[in-house]
Amino acid sequence: MERNSKPTILICLLILLALTLFYPGVSKVSEQQGSSAKLSPQKELPLFGIKPYLTKELKEPSSDRIAGPKLITFGGQIVGKLPRVNPTLITRGNPNLERVAITIDDGWRPDMRILSFLKSSSVPFTAFLIGGREVAESHPELVRAIKESGGEVCNHTYSHFVMVGKPREFVVREIWKAQEIITSLTHEIYPYVRFSGGVCDKAIIDWAAEQGFWVANWTVDSLDTRKGIRTEEQVNHIAENLCPGAIILFHFGGYNTFDVLSRLIPVLRSKGYKPTSLSEVLEGTPYRLEGKAKPGKHAEEKGKEEEGILPYRRLLERLSRSTKS
């Protein structure tokens, strides 16, 4: 066998050389590079035939489009794709609509019954997912399952660190790093970010707005981060604090979250509320990509509570009293 191997290698090399010299496609391409000779590229190299198609699908900027509340994009670089918005801390949706938003945070130890329940009950919802920390980045299947179950996948930063006190570059990077992971899987960007525990200040709300994100907190806490709480207490607490446009806070790995949701949805419907997603309760407000003509109002400038806006200092006080989310 060893004796035969040298001539075999030589024969192979000769065949390769012959192919290189006489293969018509290759020789014509080198001719074309040297001159402006006309060539029908599709005939010679099949790749040229599909190249315009690839370019259209992957690179053409017009493939980005605003569809209702979100930006759909198949482009590579997503940083800077959202238009700058007015700095706003959203804590309630449109008070003129009988809708309430189901928002579910984090993604740690997710109870997958939540997703199948919401899907089978035809309840759209919004997930604020952590980009890193073993969530979206490590579990793309979770991101896809949320979207397939009717969820809007929104941004809960990459690290889930408390952002107050961090420099601008850090906060901006946290937003986009999480968004890149989410968008690589969903091809969507919703212009909403929720920070860890809902904690933010004026600077952070401003930086998020520069990047095209409204900060979205909540109206009612389901209390599913309180160990030992009973489902009944949670359902009653939510029912007592309901209002049109309310945004309800849950967690994928919260206490009794699945039980609370499965009991709450019929209660909401019996009271005439439509349980739905964040962007749906924001319909008719300026806080939608397609309807941002009206200016947002800054919490601090107003100094008093009004539609959907809570002064951030008061919010911070309230949050420091409640348990972390």
Where does this chain bind Zn ion (CB under 5 A)?
105-106
Query: Least distance from C-beta 288 to Zn ion, angstroms?
Result: 23
Contacts 24+ apart (CB under 8 A), 285-289: 285/93, 285/94, 286/86, 287/85, 287/88, 287/90, 287/191, 287/214, 288/68, 288/69, 289/66, 289/68, 289/69, 289/70, 289/71, 289/82, 289/83, 289/191
Q: Residue 178 or residue 281: which is nearer to Zn ion going by CB?
A: 178
Q: Residue 114 or residue 289: which is nearer to Zn ion going by CB?
A: 114
Among 290, 243, 304, 214, which residue's Cα sits nearest to residue 96?
243
Q: Residue 199 or residue 268: which is nearer to Zn ion going by CB?
A: 199
Query: Least distance from C-beta 194 to Zn ion, angstroms?
Result: 7
Would you call 251 helix, strand, or coil by DSSP?
strand
Instruction: For residue 168, give both structure tokens.
Output: 């601008």
Among 322, 131, 295, which residue's Cα sits nearest to residue 214?
295
Query: Least distance from C-beta 160 to Zn ion, angstroms?
Result: 6
- Measured between alpha carbons, how far is 119 from 35 in angstroms, rounded to an integer? 61
Query: Least distance from C-beta 199 to Zn ion, angstroms?
Result: 10
Q: Residue 44 or residue 106: which is nearer to Zn ion going by CB?
A: 106
Query: Least distance from C-beta 128 to Zn ion, angstroms?
Result: 7
